[in-house]
Structure formats: C-alpha cells, structure tokens
Amino acid sequence: MSLRHRLLPSPMTSVALLLAWLMLNESASPGQWLLGALLALTIPWLLMPLRPARSPLRSWQALMRLVIVVLWDILRSNLDVARRVLGPDAAIQPRFVWVPIDLRDPLAIVLLAGIVTTTPGTISAELSDDRRWLLVHALHAPDDAAAAAIAADIKSRYEALLMEVFG
C-alpha cells in the first residue's frame, strides 16, 4: 500500500467530512477549517481496519440491467401498493417470508437487502446468522403460494443479477 493511500485512505470521504463539518458549524473560519481537516484526515484513517475488502465488480452490463430492473420494479410496486392501500382492507394480507440466498459476497447481500427494502411492499427484516436466509416482510402474501412466488421473484430478479455483477 502506498504512503498516500496509508495516510489518506479515502480522499472522497475526507472531502465529504470536511464539507459536512463546515456546513454543520455554519462557519468557514480558519479554526473550523483546521478542526474539520483534522477530523477529515483522522476519521477515515482510524476506520480503515473496519473497511471490508472491495468486492470485484465483474459485469457492468449486469449492473446496468439490475438498475433498470430495480427502477422498473420500484415504479410498478408503488402503483400496486397505492392500489392496495387505497382499496379495500382485504387487499392487504402481510406476511414474513424467508428467502434463501446463494450470495456470499457481503456487499452483494447488503445490496440485495437494500433493493428489497427500496421496493415498495417489501422490507428486509433480518439476515440469518449463517447469511443463507433473508427474512422479508411482504405487504401482501395471502398464502404459501404467494410467499413462494415472492421469494422466487427476489431470487430471479435481483439475486441472479447480483450474482452476475459480483461473480
């Protein structure tokens, strides 16, 4: 690791911390700049051992397909949730669904949980200790078949693309 990288492990984070410090203090005095710079250099350096190794991005094409799928699903799910919320009470039958996951990369698992939470009508609730199951709360899953369909949808639409992205 180069000297620059050891002293300044995350330059963009340092810049963001300095700007956040100045904005939070509503001051651009020399003392605030000095203190902000000290914090902006020290915090990333202290947190460097806690940073996970970067996950290799294997396919930009798969990443772009994933972004398009997720954006489409967010739009479609917003309409479905609005219809259910504004419709009769029977249109909402919530349930927790355990989704088996084959992903092993920690970043990919976090992204899967985030995608599920970002998509209206589902929320990631828990990850099993062995990281093989994601508990998802679904707004509408009236029976076991619907729960299985939700799990299959998450695996085929998101997990499969995440596996292509991260290998």
pLDDT tens, per residue, the chain with 167 residues: 676 777 788 889 899 999 999 999 999 999 999 999 999 999 998 988 887 777 788 999 999 999 999 999 999 999 999 999 898 776 799 999 999 999 999 989 999 999 999 999 999 999 999 999 999 999 999 999 999 999 999 999 999 999 999 87
Helix/strand/coil percent split, the chain, to 5: 65, 10, 25
Residue whose C-alpha is closest to residue 136's, from 106, 147, 77, 102: 147
> Are the C-beta atoms of residues 136 and 99 closer than 8 Å to each other?
yes
Nearest to 93 by CA among 145, 128, 133, 157: 145
Q: What CA–CA distance (Å, rounded) separates 157 from 65? A: 10
Whether the Cβ atoms of residue 127 and residue 135 lie closer than 8 Å to each other: yes
Each residue's pLDDT tens digit, 23-55: 999 999 999 999 999 999 999 989 888 877 777
User: Vertex 161, ends 158 and 164: CA angle to 5°?
Assistant: 150
- Its pTM stands at 0.73
Tell me phi and psi for residue 133, to 5 degrees. Answer: -140, 135
pLDDT of 1: 61
- Rounded distance, CA 81 to CA 85, Å? 6
Nearest to 133 by CA among 124, 141, 123, 144: 124
